[in-house]
Chain A
Amino acid sequence: MTTSPKTLLLIGGTSDIGRATALYYAKAGWHVFLAARREDEARRNADDIAARTGSEVTTHRLDILDTQSFEIFLTGLPQLPDTVVCVVGELGDQAFGQKDSAHATLLLRTNFEGPALLLGLLAERFLERGSGTIVGVSSVAGDRGRGSNYLYGSAKAGFSAFLSGLRNRLAPAGLRVITVKPGFVRTRMTAGLKLPPVLTAQAEEVGRAIFNAAEKGGGDIIYVRRIWRPVMMVIGNIPERLFKHLRL
């Protein structure tokens, strides 16, 4: 008897973290559904992962802002996946968003509304089936709002809270929800930024951390580099009357 391969739905299939995560799953023998807005770019990653691993990788068009399309998108998948990983994220331009509501809206919707609604719909299907693992890539920026990126940070905070609530609700049914806080990651999104090497992960590390947490029984909330946990503990415990004067 042969068991059919497990399936991963990767939302954000053109991002560097998405590519690395999908590759890690495919190396472990999983079939992958890569969802992204730019399907031709997702195709490049799908071809690459299939060639490197011999696993099957399909692409599926998805606009994370087009929340009306989510039901049709899910119905159009080859099957309901065993695991979904959402890596969608948009750092955007904080300074611009402070003055431009359209840009601020884009950041709030891309980082919170779209991912939360889509994972919510998947959760209902997983509950109905009685199995499924949900992984949301949030951010340490959501742990405490900072002046330099609070539009992105507050949306990620909302997403983290959503995942926390969903985890709480799904746990009795034996379904897992995992929150991933990668910290700094060397990707296109952070290209050109000066990042401290100790705190900065490679995309491959994030892929491995996600796989280990989701498929090997890791924690519910993971920081990719462990050093982030004490760092965020310290940042989280600075009294607000001091914190408001800091430039972090």
Chain B
Amino acid sequence: MTEFFGWGRYPRYPSDVLDPTSPSELPSLMASHTGLVARGNGRAYGDAAIGEKTTIVTRALDRIRAFDPATGRIRAEAGLLLSDLLEAMAPRGFFPPVVPGTKFVTIGGMIASDVHGKNHHRDGGFGDHVESLTLALPSGDVVNCSREENAELLSATIGGMGLTGTIIDATFRLRRIETGWMRQTTIAAANLEEALKALRETNNAAYSVAWIDCLARGRSMGRALIFAAEHATMQDIDALRPGAERFAPSKAGRLSIPFDLPSLTLNRLSVAAFNEIYFRSGSLKAGYPFLVHWNPYFFPLDGIGAWNRIYGPGGFLQYQCVIPAKHADIALNTILDRISHRGIASFLAVLKQMGPSHGDISFPMDGFTLALDMPINDTVLALLNELDKIVVEFGGRLYLAKDTRQSPATFEAGYPNLSRFRDLRRAIRASDRISSRLSLRLGI
């Protein structure tokens, strides 16, 4: 028995561990165990990757099986880390079609959570780029899933939180990049209305994301910095940073949080002070494009090792909701108003535009998503229950990869294709054999 927990360090559950070193071991492991789920690198915040009885650790299944430089097509085992993939491929001019906010995730985890990036409004989620995948079913049978073959199983597995089987490998295409730099433009928005407007206006940019000051109140409520970016061309280098190395190495972050900080470190005052400085310094840069390496642009927090310890030993949670486009303004206004009045100090608050998604229980939908980090305490939990009501009222939903606390009712209200997903789970006997702490909690 091993104690497992997610990136939020809460909740914790014991589970038996299976640690296959080859995909060839998976069929018999799947067929001989129940109450199990696969786990990647443990970056889901809550209880998604903890098996009811058994957890299959997939990190040893980390081989790239094929790569064609002519097309960018790659086949990789599910346990491959995105950071490994980037290290091997970015210097050669290839970049994944979608990357989430951390590179310390596995390919299998990226599919199971149908992760979204700063380009979701244009390019969809990672799952949309999966051409095919190999899945070990609960029976032990291994099947190939693509848009032509076992298409229903593919739609259920993309965003399916590992609840249809264990992903063995996946095929997708990397995109060509001319340089390892991003050409970034910052836009300062004085309040939520401006922020949403700026995000809508930058939706022709390849990537865009807004950092939001969720402590600002009154007329400044929702003030934000919008970071829009494109992969830089050689011309951009010549114009903005002449002489820069085309594929500069990414410097590894040296800062690491070695132990749990006292819970008081992040409070309303310290976060408000940080936000003030951050907003002002960002505003100064607004309007002028500049070059930034892909690593800090996409993965700013990966530079700080174990940053999940800054909330102290009690752990923390991330609240991420998405609201349909037509209700986004009013719903987000209401949500921010509640948060800023309670003075909950969120270290990280991110606002993004999203497009539709295609997995049965994928998170993204055409609209806006807001993500907030929060310490775990009674005030926060009470507030989040209120926010859930707002999200449901406006037809939104919560991201399962970040969830630790939503109720089954909130979940069911947000995921209209849930019954199809459940039917498929029954049909392949996953409902009796594959269960995570998340699926138990939400009755998936």
How far, in whole Å, are A114 and B62 apart by their CA atoms in the complex? Answer: 30
The residue in chain B whose Cβ has the minimal distance to the Cβ of A53 is B88
| B24, A51: Cβ atoms closer than 8 Å | no
Indicate whether B284 reaches chain A with its CB closer than 8 angstroms: no
Indicate whether B376 reaches chain A with its CB closer than 8 angstroms: no
Assuming the A-B contacts A41-B22, A44-B22, A188-B21, are A52 and B65 also in contact, with contact meaning beta carbons closer than 8 angstroms in the complex? no
**Residues of the B chain whose Cβ atoms lie less than 8 Å from the Cβ of A50:** 67
List 19 A-B pairs, Cβ < 8 Å: A44-B22, A44-B65, A47-B63, A47-B64, A47-B65, A47-B66, A48-B63, A48-B65, A50-B67, A51-B65, A51-B67, A51-B88, A52-B64, A52-B67, A53-B88, A54-B69, A54-B92, A188-B21, A188-B60
| A48, B64: Cβ atoms closer than 8 Å | yes
**Residues of the A chain whose Cβ atoms lie less than 8 Å from the Cβ of B234:** none
Assuming the A-B contacts A51-B74, A188-B21, are A45 and B63 also in contact, with contact meaning beta carbons closer than 8 angstroms in the complex? yes
Tell me the residues in window 30-46 of chain A with beta carbons closer than 8 Å to chain B beta carbons: 40-41, 44-45
Tell me the residues in window 143-198 of chain A with beta carbons closer than 8 Å to chain B beta carbons: 188, 191
How far, in whole Å, are A89 and B310 apart by their CA atoms in the complex? Answer: 43
Residue positions of B touching A, CB distance < 8 A:
19, 21-22, 24, 60, 62-67, 69, 74, 77, 88, 92
Assuming the A-B contacts A51-B74, A52-B88, are A40 and B65 also in contact, with contact meaning beta carbons closer than 8 angstroms in the complex? no
The residue in chain A whose Cβ has the minimal distance to the Cβ of B84 is A52
Distance (whole angstroms) from the CB of A36 to the closest CB of chain B: 12
Tell me the residues in window 2-60 of chain A with beta carbons closer than 8 Å to chain B beta carbons: 40-41, 44-45, 47-48, 50-54
Q: Which of B24, B63, B67, B77 is the most central at the interface, judged by chain A CB atoms within 10 Å of its CB?
A: B63
How far, in whole Å, are A104 and B21 apart by their CA atoms in the complex? Answer: 26
How far, in whole Å, are A191 and B92 apart by their CA atoms in the complex? Answer: 34
CB < 8 Å neighbour of B63 from A44, A53, A54, A191: A44
Distance (whole angstroms) from the CB of B250 to the closest CB of chain A: 17
The residue in chain B whose Cβ has the minimal distance to the Cβ of A41 is B22
Distance (whole angstroms) from the CB of A45 to the closest CB of chain B: 7
How far, in whole Å, are A48 and B92 apart by their CA atoms in the complex? Answer: 16
How far, in whole Å, are A15 and B65 apart by their CA atoms in the complex? Answer: 17
Distance (whole angstroms) from the CB of A48 to the closest CB of chain B: 4
Task: List 4 additional A-B contacts (Cβ < 8 Å) besides A47-B64, A51-B64, A51-B74.
Answer: A47-B66, A51-B65, A51-B88, A52-B88
Q: Which of A41, A44, A45, A53 is the most central at the interface, judged by chain B CB atoms within 10 Å of its CB?
A: A44
How far, in whole Å, are A9 and B60 apart by their CA atoms in the complex? Answer: 24
How far, in whole Å, are A45 and B77 apart by their CA atoms in the complex? Answer: 12
Distance (whole angstroms) from the CB of B1 to the closest CB of chain A: 14
**Residues of the B chain whose Cβ atoms lie less than 8 Å from the Cβ of A41:** 22
| B67, A40: Cβ atoms closer than 8 Å | no
How far, in whole Å, are A40 and B69 apart by their CA atoms in the complex? Answer: 24
How far, in whole Å, are A50 and B88 apart by their CA atoms in the complex? Answer: 11
| A40, B63: Cβ atoms closer than 8 Å | no
Distance (whole angstroms) from the CB of B234 to the closest CB of chain A: 22
Distance (whole angstroms) from the CB of A49 to the closest CB of chain B: 9
**Residues of the B chain whose Cβ atoms lie less than 8 Å from the Cβ of A51:** 64-67, 74, 88
**Residues of the B chain whose Cβ atoms lie less than 8 Å from the Cβ of A188:** 21, 60
**Residues of the B chain whose Cβ atoms lie less than 8 Å from the Cβ of A48:** 62-65
Distance (whole angstroms) from the CB of A193 to the closest CB of chain B: 14
How far, in whole Å, are A44 and B67 apart by their CA atoms in the complex? Answer: 13
Distance (whole angstroms) from the CB of B168 to the closest CB of chain A: 12
**Residues of the A chain whose Cβ atoms lie less than 8 Å from the Cβ of B24:** 40
The residue in chain B whose Cβ has the minimal distance to the Cβ of A52 is B88
How far, in whole Å, are A54 and B22 apart by their CA atoms in the complex? Answer: 23
**Residues of the B chain whose Cβ atoms lie less than 8 Å from the Cβ of A52:** 64, 67, 88
Q: Which of B21, B62, B74 is the most central at the interface, judged by chain A CB atoms within 10 Å of its CB?
A: B21
How far, in whole Å, are A188 and B62 apart by their CA atoms in the complex? Answer: 14
Distance (whole angstroms) from the CB of B65 to the closest CB of chain A: 5
**Residues of the A chain whose Cβ atoms lie less than 8 Å from the Cβ of B66:** 47, 51
Q: Which of A40, A44, A50, A51 is the most central at the interface, judged by chain B CB atoms within 10 Å of its CB?
A: A51
Distance (whole angstroms) from the CB of A28 to the closest CB of chain B: 15
The residue in chain A whose Cβ has the minimal distance to the Cβ of B68 is A51
The residue in chain A whose Cβ has the minimal distance to the Cβ of B64 is A51
What are the 5 A-B residue pairs with the smallest beta carbon separation, nearest first? A51-B67, A48-B63, A51-B64, A52-B88, A44-B63
How far, in whole Å, are A188 and B60 apart by their CA atoms in the complex? Answer: 9
How far, in whole Å, are A50 and B69 apart by their CA atoms in the complex? Answer: 12
**Residues of the A chain whose Cβ atoms lie less than 8 Å from the Cβ of B19:** 191
**Residues of the B chain whose Cβ atoms lie less than 8 Å from the Cβ of A40:** 24
The residue in chain B whose Cβ has the minimal distance to the Cβ of A27 is B88
**Residues of the A chain whose Cβ atoms lie less than 8 Å from the Cβ of B65:** 44, 47-48, 51
How far, in whole Å, are A51 and B67 apart by their CA atoms in the complex? Answer: 5
**Residues of the A chain whose Cβ atoms lie less than 8 Å from the Cβ of B64:** 47-48, 51-52
How far, in whole Å, are A41 and B74 apart by their CA atoms in the complex? Answer: 19
How far, in whole Å, are A137 and B64 apart by their CA atoms in the complex? Answer: 26
How far, in whole Å, are A54 and B67 apart by their CA atoms in the complex? Answer: 9
Distance (whole angstroms) from the CB of B60 to the closest CB of chain A: 8
Distance (whole angstroms) from the CB of B27 to the closest CB of chain A: 14
The residue in chain A whose Cβ has the minimal distance to the Cβ of B74 is A51
Distance (whole angstroms) from the CB of A190 to the closest CB of chain B: 13
The residue in chain A whose Cβ has the minimal distance to the Cβ of B80 is A48
Distance (whole angstroms) from the CB of A44 to the closest CB of chain B: 5
How far, in whole Å, are A191 and B20 apart by their CA atoms in the complex? Answer: 12
The residue in chain B whose Cβ has the minimal distance to the Cβ of A191 is B19
**Residues of the B chain whose Cβ atoms lie less than 8 Å from the Cβ of A47:** 63-66
How far, in whole Å, are A225 and B73 apart by their CA atoms in the complex? Answer: 39
**Residues of the B chain whose Cβ atoms lie less than 8 Å from the Cβ of A53:** 88
How far, in whole Å, are A40 and B19 apart by their CA atoms in the complex? Answer: 19
How far, in whole Å, are A22 and B63 apart by their CA atoms in the complex? Answer: 14
How far, in whole Å, are A22 and B284 apart by their CA atoms in the complex? Answer: 49
How far, in whole Å, are A50 and B63 apart by their CA atoms in the complex? Answer: 11
The residue in chain A whose Cβ has the minimal distance to the Cβ of B85 is A52
How far, in whole Å, are A51 and B65 apart by their CA atoms in the complex? Answer: 7
Distance (whole angstroms) from the CB of B56 to the closest CB of chain A: 16
Distance (whole angstroms) from the CB of B134 to the closest CB of chain A: 13
Distance (whole angstroms) from the CB of B443 to the closest CB of chain A: 36
Distance (whole angstroms) from the CB of A188 to the closest CB of chain B: 6
Distance (whole angstroms) from the CB of A27 to the closest CB of chain B: 9
